[in-house]
Amino acid sequence: MHQLPSHVKIIAALFFIFVSIATPISTWGAFIGYLIVILITAKVAKIPLFTLGKRALIEIPFIFFAILMPFFGKGEIVNVGPFDLYKDGIEAALSIVAKGTIGVLTAVILSTSTTAREILRGLERLKLPRMMVQIATFMLRYVNVISDEMERMKIARESRGFEATGIKHWKILATVAASLFIRSYERGERIHLAMLSRGYAGELPHEESRHVPLVRWAIALSAPLVALLILLITTGMDK
Partner 1 sequence: MTTPSLEIKDLAFAYPDGNQALFGVNLTVGQGERVALLGPNGAGKTTLVMHMNGIHPAAHGEVKVAGQLIDASDKANLRSIRSKVGIVFQDPDDQLFMPTVGEDVAFGPYNMGVRGDELNRVVIEALELVGMTEFKDRPPHHLSFGQRRRVAVATVLAMKPEILVLDEPSSNLDPASRRELADILRSLAITIVMVTHDLPYALELCERAVILSGGIIVADKQTREILGDKNLLQAHRLELPVGFSI
Catalog residues that contact partner 1 under the rule CB under 8 A. 117, 120, 137-138, 140-142, 144-145, 187, 190-191, 193-201, 203-205, 208
DSSP state of 167: G
Nearest distance from C-beta of residue 147 to partner 1, angstroms: 10
Q: What is the dihedral of CA 196, 197, 198, 199, to 10 degrees?
A: 50
Residue with Cβ nearer partner 1 (77 or 195): 195
Residue with Cβ nearer partner 1 (59 or 118): 118
User: Long-range contacts for 57-63 (Cβ within 8 Å, ≥24 apart)?
Assistant: 58/104, 59/100, 59/101, 59/104, 62/96, 62/100, 63/96, 63/97, 63/100
Task: In whole angstroms, give the CA distance from residue 123 to residue 146.
Answer: 25
Nearest distance from C-beta of residue 219 to partner 1, angstroms: 25
CA 65 vs. chain centroid, Å, equals: 19
Nearest distance from C-beta of residue 203 to partner 1, angstroms: 8
Task: In whole angstroms, give the CA distance from residue 103 to residue 192.
Answer: 37
Residue with Cβ nearer partner 1 (79 or 144): 144
Residue with Cβ nearer partner 1 (134 or 222): 134
Residue with Cβ nearer partner 1 (91 or 149): 149
Nearest distance from C-beta of residue 74 to partner 1, angstroms: 52
Nearest distance from C-beta of residue 128 to partner 1, angstroms: 16
Closest CA to 119 of 9, 1, 3: 9
Task: In whole angstroms, give the CA distance from residue 232 to residue 35.
Answer: 16
